[in-house]
């Protein structure tokens, strides 16, 4: 490390998708770019957000909808950030307490994780519980403004379950989920890895469905960068983006999975055994069931490919559409403009220019209803996007956001 | 109006720290202070107890739960202001830097909440200083005992006097640019290994 290395303070939550920050530091990608990257582990998203807002952190591993909420000024403490980069696609699943599952276990045959089938099963459980006079299922998500909350709600509503009337959704930090499930404080949860695998491998949970089954290749976390840092220290900011890109490349390489899990298992980072970390990275998901014992999903979590690092406006706007849908924010052109403006792909382009990498055309942002991969329009013409279909096959056109939300409202009633 | 009519809830898993804050609040004339050190059902407690101000430790994992509860709360009318006031950024920064966060029922005047926050910040700082000092004292004790043990080994095996043994450890530490306790630890370790 040269004495001229720029210090960058980064906050993160103990989750698999914090790996780019951790690997950028541990494998020397940050150092090679002249950055001394300091990492600070936080437990709750609220604290991480507040420390970023006041400048204790320059950058942070952030729930994508937190940046959307910040654009709409929904927080009491102003959070003035830009999003130059996303931190991967996928990575979540929905896990149910074994005790609840056992009460409604299927007679025989393999279980389907298809979001429609899993939702129908859940709906039957809810109706059965209601008939027996049992309390509502209590579901955990990590924060009101999280992909988890919105994909869970989207899935439930799409399966004919009213998330507000038929279930009770509560918010807990990711690392506390397995304990909450074991103790009966939660009946199911939607959380990022490794906390599902932890509960499943401990025998407390069974897999219901995954984020990818609800919405293929969907976004989850972004890199939130304080605007003043991005503007005042542009060189260091871009150097960090390059380091994170290289870290993501390293993480995606199958040859590095063992080493990756070893590094992240350190108590200072995630602090869980390598066995618990691995499923979320290699996509060989333990189900906690006899049949099938394992779900093979190679694109369960993508740190790099399919333009996983690209901060798409359509992704941010989808979260905004759901915030409107559930009454978390009002629909306004001003909000839409600010949500769009929070994404800064031009910063990623500028930072990665020396690396000569194919990045998507920003105009290509209708989330399709097709199971195809489309080539990335770029100078290099490399790589591909998608498939990004929702389980109900309803496409999302960000330019017709109001109609989309209105359609969903009718569907709910 | 006396400040004592404000209901303050201090939610901190560290009971000592919570008690220190409570004491400070009572000394400042805030007599209606409740402590909660277990967070299961904190949101429910807030609903039943209806405090005007909730002071929580930033490391408290229940912050996400609390915020969501406030956003949806029917018990407390929205909106809820956090910290002191949106316009008072420096006060918020000071609070977060000190590790304290407050949830304040909207409509509470800034001049009423300010002294409470200042007190909480001061107490948080004092507590972390106390913890640092305790840690320092403990490691000093540990350092001393390992040096004593290393000296005993040198005296025993090399027939040195206590002051000669001390000098030898000190000289080695100076030459190697290390702490005396580090040199002492390697002497103790080496001696244990040789006994095998």
DSSP states along chain B: --GGGS-EEEE-S-HHHHHHHHHHHHHTT---EEEE---TTHHHHHHHH--SEEEEETT-TTHHHHHHHHHH-SSSPSPPEESS-TT-HHHHHHHHHHTEEEEE-TT--HHHHHHHHHHHHHHHHHHHHHHHHHHHHHHHHHHHHHHHHHHHHHHHHH---HHHHHHHHHHHHHHHT--HHHHHHHHHHHHHHHH-
pLDDT at A77: 77
Task: Please report where in the chains the tokens 């509470």 appear, as a residue.
Answer: B108
Section A243-271 average pLDDT: 96
Nearest to B67 among A43, A46, A51 (CB): A46
Reported as a single tens digit per residue, the pLDDT across B101-146 is 888 766 666 677 778 888 888 888 888 788 788 888 888 877 778 8
Tell me how far apart the alpha carbons of residues B29 and A367 are, in angstroms, rounded to a whole number: 59
- Average of per-residue pLDDT values in chain A: 91
Q: What is the pTM of this model?
A: 0.85
**Percent of all residues in chain A with a pLDDT value above 70, rounded to a whole number:** 91
Cis amide prior to B79 (ω within 30 degrees): yes
Tell me if chain B has a CB within 8 Å of the CB of A182: no
Q: Could you tell me if the ipTM is greater than 0.85?
A: no
Tell me if chain B has a CB within 8 Å of the CB of A144: yes
Tell me how far apart the alpha carbons of residues B106 and B120 are, in angstroms, rounded to a whole number: 19
pLDDT at A37 over 90: yes
Chosen for mutation from A56, A66, A76, A180 (greatest number of chain B CBs closer than 10 Å) is: A76
Which of helix, strand or coil describes residue A395?
coil
- Residues 142-161, chain B, touching A (beta carbon < 8 A): none
**Percent of all residues in chain B with a pLDDT value above 70, rounded to a whole number:** 84
Tell me if chain B has a CB within 8 Å of the CB of A298: no
Reported as a single tens digit per residue, the pLDDT across A159-197 is 999 999 999 999 999 999 999 999 999 999 999 999 999
Chosen for mutation from B41, B64, B71 (greatest number of chain A CBs closer than 10 Å) is: B64
Q: Nearest-CA distance from A411 to chain B in Å?
A: 23
- A390: tokens are 């929702």
Q: Nearest-CA distance from B78 to chain A in Å?
A: 12
Cβ separation of B83 and A77 shorter than 8 Å?
A: yes
Q: Nearest-CA distance from A210 to chain B in Å?
A: 23
Worst-scoring range by mean pLDDT, A67-71, A73-77, A391-395?
A: A73-77
How many angstroms separate the Cα of B149 from the Cα of each of A290, B142, B167, B172, B183? 57, 11, 14, 16, 12
Tell me if chain B has a CB within 8 Å of the CB of A173: yes
Residue of B nearest to A169 (CA): B68
Contacts of residue A33, Cβ cutoff 8 Å, sequence gap at least 6: A239, A240, A242, A243
- For residue A315, which phi and psi values (nearest 5 degrees)? -65, -45
- Residue A361 DSSP class: -
Nearest to A170 among B65, B83, B92 (CB): B65
**Confidence category of residue A412, pLDDT binned at 50, 70, 90:** very low
Nearest to B68 among A55, A76, A171 (CB): A171
Nearest to B65 among A47, A54, A171 (CB): A171
**Cβ contact B183:B169 at 8 Å:** yes
Tell me how far apart the alpha carbons of residues A185 and B8 are, in angstroms, rounded to a whole number: 27
Section A26-50 average pLDDT: 95
């Amino acid at each position: 490390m040269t004495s001229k290395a720029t210090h960058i303070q980064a906050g993160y939550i103990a989750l698999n998708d914090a790996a780019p920050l951790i690997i950028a530091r541990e494998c020397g990608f940050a150092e090679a770019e002249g950055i001394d990257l300091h990492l600070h582990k936080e437990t709750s998203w609220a604290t991480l957000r507040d420390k970023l807002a006041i400048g204790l952190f320059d950058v942070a591993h952030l729930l994508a909808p937190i940046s959307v909420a910040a654009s709409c000024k929904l927080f009491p403490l102003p959070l003035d950030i830009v999003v130059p980069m996303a931190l991967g696609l996928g990575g979540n699943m929905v896990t149910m307490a074994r005790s609840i599952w056992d009460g409604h276990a299927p007679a025989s045959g393999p279980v389907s994780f298809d979001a429609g089938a899993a939702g129908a099963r859940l709906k039957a459980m809810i109706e059965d519980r209601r008939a027996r006079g049992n309390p509502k299922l209590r579901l955990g998500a990590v924060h009101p403004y999280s992909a988890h909350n919105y994909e869970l709600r989207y899935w439930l509503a799409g399966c004919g379950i009213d998330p507000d009337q038929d279930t009770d959704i509560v918010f807990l930090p990711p690392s506390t989920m397995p304990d909450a499930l074991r103790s009966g404080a939660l009946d199911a949860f939607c959380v990022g890895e490794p906390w599902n695998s932890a509960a499943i491998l401990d025998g407390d949970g069974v897999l219901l469905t995954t984020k990818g089954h609800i919405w293929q290749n969907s976004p989850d976390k972004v890199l939130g960068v304080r605007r003043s840092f991005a503007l005042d220290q542009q060189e260091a900011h871009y150097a960090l983006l390059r380091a994170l890109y290289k870290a993501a490349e390293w993480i995606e390489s199958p040859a590095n999975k063992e080493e990756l899990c070893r590094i992240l298992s350190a108590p200072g980072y995630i602090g869980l055994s390598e066995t618990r970390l691995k499923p979320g990275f290699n996509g060989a998901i333990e189900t906690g069931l006899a049949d099938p014992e394992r779900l093979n999903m190679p694109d369960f979590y993508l740190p790099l490919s399919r333009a996983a690092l690209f901060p798409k406006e359509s992704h941010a706007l989808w979260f905004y559409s759901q915030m409107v849908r559930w009454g978390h924010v009002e629909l306004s052109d001003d909000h839409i403009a600010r949500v769009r403006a929070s994404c800064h792909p031009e910063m990623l382009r500028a930072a990665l220019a020396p690396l000569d990498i194919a990045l998507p055309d920003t105009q290509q942002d209708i989330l399709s209803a097709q199971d195809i991969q489309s080539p990335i329009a770029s100078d290099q013409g490399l790589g591909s996007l998608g498939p990004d279909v929702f389980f109900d096959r309803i496409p999302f056109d960000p330019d017709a956001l109001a109609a989309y939300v209105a359609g969903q409202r009718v569907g709910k009633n | 109006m006396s400040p004592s009519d404000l209901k303050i809830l201090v939610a901190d898993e560290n009971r000592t720290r919570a008690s220190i804050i409570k004491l400070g609040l009572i000394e400042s004339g805030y007599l209606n202070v409740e402590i909660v050190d277990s967070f299961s059902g904190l949101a429910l407690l807030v609903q039943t107890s209806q405090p005007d101000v909730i002071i929580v430790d930033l490391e408290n994992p229940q912050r996400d739960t609390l915020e969501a509860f406030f956003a949806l709360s029917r018990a407390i009318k929205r909106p809820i202001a956090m910290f002191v006031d949106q316009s008072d950024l420096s006060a918020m920064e000071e609070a977060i830097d000190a590790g304290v966060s407050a949830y304040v029922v909207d409509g509470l005047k800034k001049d009423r909440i300010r002294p409470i926050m200042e007190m909480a910040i001061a107490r948080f700082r004092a507590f972390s200083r106390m913890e640092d000092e305790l840690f320092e004292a403990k490691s000093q004790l540990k350092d001393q005992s390992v040096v004593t043990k290393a000296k005993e080994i040198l005296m025993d095996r090399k027939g040195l006097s206590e002051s000669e043994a001390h000098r030898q450890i000190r000289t080695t530490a100076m030459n190697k640019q290390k702490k005396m306790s580090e040199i002492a630890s390697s002497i103790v370790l080496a001696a244990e290994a040789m006994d095998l």
